Structure 1
């Protein structure tokens, strides 16, 4: 099974730049990150340190988020945030640069919360243009923009697969961008009340990426009640060929115990 360790939410006992090597030591060859910098346009030295941490560890960067703002404070993306649109456009070039240098081709663009003082329609129009700009930039390196429904963010408007797919369809229809796909996070979809099996049956072939955590608790597989193995197997059966992103909360000492219990595949 091709798993990718999300080094932003896992292995948090270690400094960020030590986590790729820890993922490698745990037996994984691929990692992904939320935006790993404090600003949308970090300096060259910061970029170099981040990229070297991945290449020196001998792992492949398989996924990277665009800057989503201050996530601990409740921000969930800049894509539809009117006051930070120029910042998002600047961030696009940085993300594409990292992707080009490290061979990463999947880039998650969190949509952004609804804002006071701006209509949903105006935010959605801005999002279409920003997503198209991101898609055009990463297309030059063979990349795909991902759009994700999330849970636990009351003002985030994309809760279901259909919510995200409607945006994706509009971007394609209005701008012609083709390299934008659904990020199917089985945890978020389940917590939001989605029929995950139905989403898989209808859309698995077109998933841009899958991420997993168990529920309740957003812990490691096996700590809750979600049929993650079944959902992954069905997605594979229907044509999904990409990585399975491990995006859950678990102490480093036990973070991957479930994988050791997995039968050989």
Structure 2
């Protein structure tokens, strides 16, 4: 069971692309509100092969505003359900990503969303990794500039190699190195590391060491227990210690609940976090 004292020092946001998926997308913000949450985040919600219409964007905005839930983060175009892991480094997706930048950033601006996440993209067979890395830096710099124009940060995330074997950023060090390159290219300083403790733990990283080394680069933190990616208290991570370490390191940003409910029912998975701590501070 997670320690309430440690959790009370943090503000939480719920990922509605992995929680409440038993409901249609437009019903999830209201479900989050009914569970006591006032902040939520999303992966790209429209599918990789679909450009949303103005009506679809307006419907999504209305779902959040009607529920009184703040959209705190959103991914650029992707479809994680099909094994995609971002588009920024993929030569074949160069135009799709660039066309999506104003769509995602515009949605973020209209809802006061202050974080946009650009997954790096898988390695492509037959393409020189250096070519992919050069393209990624160009695209991430474009995204960072667009995000900066609306007061948002650009997030760069490490994933775990077991679930994403072709994804090149499988350590905190690798992701932070990309963050530093983007900031050097733009001079804006708004590229940040999305520290997903689940992915890093699956990669065998020392989470305490990661927090100590890179907390000043964190733009967001996400959590799930290991190994099954379920709610805290169902696996091997000591969240009492992790929350306390984040506080001690000076991390004051939100913590995203990006886990699968262990019994398949999202509303049953929040017992570890008392209701009075679910509303964002």
TM over 0.5: yes
Q: Show the counterpart of 1:13.
A: 22
Preserved CA contact (<8 Å) 1:160 1:189: yes
Provide the residue aligned with 1:106 in structure 2: 115
Q: Which digits, 9 at most, give the CA deviation of each residue in 1:149-195, with x for residues without a partner?
A: 01110100000000101111222233434210000000000001111
Q: Are 1:255 and 2:255 matched, yes or no? A: no
Asked whether the equivalents of residues 67 and 91 of structure 1 are also in contact (C-alpha less than 8 Å), the reply is: yes
Any gaps of 5 or more consecutive residues in structure 2?
A: 1-9
How big is the alpha-carbon RMSD for the aligned residues of Structure 1 and Structure 2?
1.7
Answer whether contact 2:148 2:188 (CA < 8 A) is retained.
Answer: no
1:215 and 2:229 correspond: no
Aligned counterparts of 1:261 and 1:88: Cα–Cα separation in 2 = 38
Question: Does 1 or 2 have the higher relative contact order (CA < 8 Å, sep 6+)?
Answer: 2
Distance 1:40 1:237, change over 3 A: farther
Q: Distance in 2 between matches of 1:237 and 1:102?
A: 31
Q: Deviations over 1:74-96 (max 9, x none)?
A: 11000101101111011110111
Report the Cα distance in structure 1 between the residues aligned to 2:250 and 2:226, rounded to whole angstroms.
25
Q: 1:17 to 1:263 in 2, by over 3 A?
A: closer
Q: Deviations over 1:205-241 (max 9, x none)?
A: 3210000000110000000010122112211221111
Q: Given the superposition, is the C-alpha separation of residues 164 and 40 from structure 1 closer, same or farther in structure 2, using an over 3 Å criterion? A: farther
Within the alignment, does 1:163 sit opposite 2:174 as a pair? yes
Q: Within 2, Cα distance between the matches of 1:243 and 1:139? A: 19
Unaligned 5+ residue runs, structure 1?
none
Alpha-carbon displacement from aligned partner over 1:86-121 (angstroms, at most 9, x marks no partner): 110111101111111100011110000000121100
In structure 1, C-alpha distance between the alignment counterparts of 2:60 and 2:24, rounded to whole Å: 12
Mean Cα deviation higher: 178-187 or 37-46: 37-46
Instruction: Please give the alpha-carbon distance, in whole angstroms, between the structure 1 residues aligned to 2:84 and 2:180.
Output: 25
TM-score, normalization by structure 2: 0.90
- The equivalences for 1:167-186 within 5 A come to 167-186=178-197
More divergent stretch after superposition (188-197 vs 70-79):
70-79
Kindly state the Cα deviation for residue 261 of structure 1 after the two structures are TM-superposed: 8.5
> 2:82 is matched with which residue?
73
Distance (whole Å) between structure 2 residues aligned to residue 59 and residue 175 of structure 1: 32
Q: Contact (CA 8 Å) 2:76, 2:104: kept in 1 or not?
A: yes
Contact kept, 8 Å, 2:13 with 2:39, in 1: the verdict is yes
* Aligned residue in 1 for 2:5: none
Maintained 8 Å contact 1:212/1:246: yes
> Are residues 1:204 and 2:215 paired?
yes
